Chains A and B, each alone.
Chain A
Amino acid sequence: MSQTIATPPTVRLDSDVIGKPINRTDGPAKVSGAAKYAAEFGVTGPLWYGYIVSSPVAKGKITKIHADEVLAIPGVQQVFSHENVSSFAWFDRAYKDDVAPGGSPFRPLHEPEIMFNQQPVALVVAETFELARYAASVLRIEYDVEKHNTDLDSVIGEAFDAPKGKTGFVPPPKPKGDMNKAFAEAPHKVAGEYIHRAQHHNPMEMFATTVDWLGDGKKMKIYDKTQGAPNVQQYIAKIFGLSTDEARVISKFTGGGFGSGLRPQYQVFLAVMAALELEHSVRVVMTRTQMFSFGHRPHTLQKLRIASDDQGHIQALEHKALAETSQFENATETVVNWTGILYNSPNTNFDYQLSKIDVYTPLDMRAPGAATGNFASESAIDEMSYKAGKDPLDFRLLNYTYSDPTENKPFTSKRLDDCYHEGAARFGWDQRNPEPRSMRDEKGMLVGWGVAAGCWDASMQKAAAKAVLSADGHLTVNSATNDQGAGTYVIMTQMAAQTLGLPMQQVTFNLGDTNMPAAPVQGGSWTANSVGAAVKDACQEVGKKLLKLAQKMDDSPLAGVNFEDAQFVDGHIRANEDITRSVAIEDILAASGEDKIEADGKAGPNPINQLKYSMHSHNAVFVEVKVDEDLGTIHVTRVVNAVAAGRIMNPKTARSQVLGGTVWGLSMAMMEETYLNNELGRYMNHNYAEYHIPVNADIHKIDVIFVEEEDDIASPIGVKGVGEIGMLGVAAAIANAVYHATGKRVRELPLTSDKLL
């Protein structure tokens, strides 16, 4: 094992800002309450409030809405429902957003039919929030109820192969060899079924939209909670037939998303519809209960079979998954593929199917698909290691693959082996007694140590940015991207400052406004890579213009120097070959007489280079649990999460992403489950008191290790992204540690105490 731990990252120059743990530039606004979220913007003129009424039935038809009774209350402006909302767009296509799955999107207040419990059925608009809430509470609605089915187990027989088409979805890899024969003949084998039920994103900020009606035709400023303002804009513009000028969408701060804000949610439709109909500013905020009324991580059933030879080499590997989807859309995730990317096996079989039930369409939730598949496969790999008589870490190293077996392509970079070694050394894995139930702490608690690996794809999307250097030397860069807490504000400021060699305080990065150059929704761990490359491109274009202007100066020391041979450092442009040939940027600006220098930048994937490779980030997670066998309680006392995700732009914010991912993995493993009552067809624990997520007292020591990689193929700026990878491995490592502590293999999440007793 490698013994080296921890030397600081290589820093080229003192003035370098990329790779340094710099505080968030938006930090002071967030800690002082100055940061404005969607429900907090002021409007021109008075503001009216919309309150959403949700269906208490899962399937049926509205027969009567007694709107007249609440319209009689002074101050109530309107009750919107399918009875009085005109049909805006004829075709389904208008309701399709950038990341919609196949099928027919839900159209709010479009028709009397009820397709899922908590479906929004009316919007009550009144002059104050208190009045709108009261009026909504006394609105009588009559339904014809039909029999629903929300029980996935009952429709297993109706499963169909998941269709292609959704952004990011990769169908299961083709089978190899003869799975059944290899499994039958192998000396060591495991087979297991794994289950988790629905989970809901529950970002702290509830979905909200404030529409500022500007009183100039149909012009609006739409302040929306989203992970992508441009996606919301095209959705709204298509449905209501608006121009981009009329439907300007703004999202400066997003109080968490985790996937819930990838698609426009129904409150933005309702708020814009009400504003257009009433020609008035309107605010609509969901309740916490309504946060359980749209997408979720789907209830998924998985089956795994693995077999190895006597030396511990995997001979057969099968991973099958069946997930729920709604009656109206086919939500797909990449669930089983990752198993085939992490381990080599001559005989494989993969399968991924969907079945329809009467719920809302599932929606990508942090590390979608991967978190689901990873729990099952890394639990099964662990079980296999015991069957083969190998240490779980040794077993993973023994079956390590340097190329992607599902596509027969090399990785652009993969330092998972170093993640294993560095993580194990930090954790002290060599002190582990391999026997289950063999370790106890000083209080007599059972102690378990578990390990698991994770894998996520490093992808890139098209993105654009604009850079403006003003005469006073201040650089402003804009892109319509998002910061749901990832650190986009600070790392893009770093990228711009680094590219033009300016100090951080001389650079401002703005985001979240559709008047800015387009960027993709913030998801899939692609923002740092895609937007970062666009910001760099825009700044380089400014740099080229600066160099030309410098060369126009009298007796320019930079005469004849190509852009490629120049460096931008400490506010100067210098010749690489002789850094004494140098001009200060402020002098160039002064001599030029220009009041600003601006340039557009863009970035996107490079398929010609990238198609030859498999591009992934990896991690290895080591976990210690302590179990009180009498009570069945589990405490995660220690985690080491070692991540290989290319270059780390800001270790402080990247570490926070991995800390957050670790907490999410722990939460998935031990707490999260939305209870679906099949009789009522309703999620029952739809609030923070009953839908459990960790609190401060649940979280203990978490070490984060970044094993840096050099990778100029996966990304022109060497970045793979860290939003998802930190969550992977965690749930399985906890389940594996619980097995090591207790000898009990739990294959159903969450790992609550009843499953151990």
Chain B
Amino acid sequence: MSLQFIQEPLDKATPHVVPAQAVTLNVNGEDHTIQIAPWTSLLDALREYMDLTGTKKGCDHGQCGACTVLVDGKRINSCLALATVYQGKKIQTIEGLGTEENLSPLQQAFVDHDAFQCGYCTPGQICSAQGLINEGRCKTEDEVREHMSGNLCRCGAYTNILSAVMEVLHDGDVVVDNGVLITVPVASTKASSVE
């Protein structure tokens, strides 16, 4: 049995591609003018045209939250945003929250609580947490868990992310009971006998 199958595109290849246009974006307080095709996403504009690679691409479909940035203080998925639409807005990325030498309180809390492992979802988690704090609606552990659930973490650092966000949200006044670490040292005697 032999069948023909043609991987047929939705449209024919066009001999004329729309030329790149100048777009000015205000990112972390600075204006950047770049030449991009009109269908360039804000995520690709940041990463490929402005060398702001702190914002991550995890799915390019608005499903994972790794690309979260703040626009006028609100969190959005930059992979679902066309860059050209965001001219005239104030865009803030992870690079604008703090630097390696001068971390923001959220960034420091993420380090202290080991709220990441591979680090790839982390900028999105932190921008999302900053957006959550800006929104001012969430206070409890369950609220924070729910409102941080648009950001996937495949390493599974969720409990530590919760601890870090709750610490900053409540200025260090709240300690979350979401699991402890216990170390049982090497015993000199043999462990208790089998019954």
* Chain A contact residues, CB within 8 Å of chain B: 1-2, 4-10, 21, 23-24, 26-37, 39-40, 42, 53, 55-57, 60, 63, 69-70, 72-75, 128-131, 134-135, 137-147, 202-206, 253-258, 285, 287-288, 394, 397-398, 400, 415, 417-418, 421-422, 426, 484-487, 639, 648, 651-653, 655-657, 659-664, 667, 687-689, 693-710
Contacts and interface: CB of A to CB of B under 8 A. Distances in A.
B139 interface: no
Contacts of A689: 61, 63
A527 B53 CA distance: 28
B104 to A, nearest CB: 9
| A5, A10, A27, A487 interface centre (most CB from chain B within 10 Å) | A27
A139 B156 CA distance: 39
B103 to A, nearest CB: 6
B175 interface: no
A394 B116 CA distance: 37
B56 to A, nearest CB: 7
B31 interface: no
A688 B157 contact: no
In the complex, the 8 A-B pairs of residues with the closest C-beta atoms, listed nearest first: A33-B54, A663-B156, A255-B120, A485-B117, A30-B119, A485-B118, A40-B53, A660-B156
Nearest to A40: B53
Contact of B191 (A33, A144, A288, A418): A418
Given A33-B54, A417-B191, A688 B119 contact: no
A697 B114 contact: no
B64 interface: yes
A651 B183 contact: yes
Given A142-B5, A145-B3, A706-B183, A30 B116 contact: yes
B180 A141 contact: no
Contacts of A204: 56, 58, 64, 66, 118, 120-121, 152-155
20 contacts: A4-B184, A27-B116, A32-B98, A33-B55, A39-B47, A56-B5, A70-B13, A144-B4, A204-B58, A204-B64, A253-B120, A288-B60, A397-B195, A422-B184, A656-B155, A659-B179, A662-B156, A688-B152, A699-B159, A709-B186
B90 interface: no
A694 B181 CA distance: 22
B185 interface: yes
Contacts of A32: 54, 94-95, 97-100, 103, 107
Contacts of B101: 28
Nearest to A418: B191
Given A4-B184, A30-B122, A696-B158, 5 more contacts: A131-B37, A203-B120, A287-B60, A656-B157, A662-B156
A128 B156 CA distance: 34
A702 B178 contact: yes
Contacts of A484: 118
Nearest to A660: B156
A256 B179 contact: no
Nearest to A147: B1
B9 interface: yes
Contacts of A142: 4-7
Nearest to B64: A688
B12 interface: yes
A129 B44 contact: yes
B30 interface: no
Contacts of B15: 72-74
Contacts of B61: 288, 687-689
Contact of A664 (B40, B156, B194): B156
Contacts of A28: 100-101, 103, 107, 111
Contact of A707 (B4, B14, B39, B184): B184
| A36, A140, A258, A485 interface centre (most CB from chain B within 10 Å) | A485
Interface of B: 1-15, 17, 20, 36-37, 39-40, 44, 47-48, 51-61, 63-64, 66, 93-95, 97-101, 103, 107-108, 110-112, 114, 116-123, 126, 142, 144-146, 148-162, 177-187, 191-192, 194-195
A485 B121 CA distance: 11
Contacts of B161: 696
A42 B13 CA distance: 30
A128 B6 contact: no
Given A33-B54, A147-B1, A204-B152, A138 B9 contact: yes
A129 B48 contact: yes
Contacts of A486: 117
B183 A708 contact: yes
Contact of A31 (B12, B110, B118): B110
Contact of B156 (A417, A651, A694): A694
Contacts of B144: 696
A55 B153 CA distance: 29
B2 A485 contact: no
Nearest to B54: A33
A253 B37 CA distance: 30
Contacts of B98: 31-32
A33 B95 contact: yes
Contact of A146 (B1, B99, B110): B1
Given A255-B56, A256-B120, A141 B6 contact: yes
Contacts of B63: 288, 687-689
Given A142-B6, A688-B63, A704-B179, A656 B57 contact: no
A412 to B, nearest CB: 13
A89 B160 CA distance: 48
A731 to B, nearest CB: 14
B44 A130 contact: yes
A663 B158 contact: yes
A27 B118 CA distance: 10
B192 A708 contact: no
Given A72-B15, A288-B59, A418 B184 contact: yes
Contact of B17 (A1, A74, A129, A664): A74
B195 A394 contact: yes
B154 A258 contact: yes
| A34, A75, A653, A698 interface centre (most CB from chain B within 10 Å) | A34
Contact of A693 (B7, B36, B152): B152
A9 B157 CA distance: 24
A145 to B, nearest CB: 4
A696 B152 CA distance: 8
Contacts of B142: 697
Contacts of A6: 182-184
B152 to A, nearest CB: 6
Given A129-B44, A255-B119, A143 B7 contact: yes
A9 B194 contact: no
A140 B162 CA distance: 48
A19 B57 CA distance: 35
Contacts of A701: 159, 177-179
Contacts of B12: 69, 138
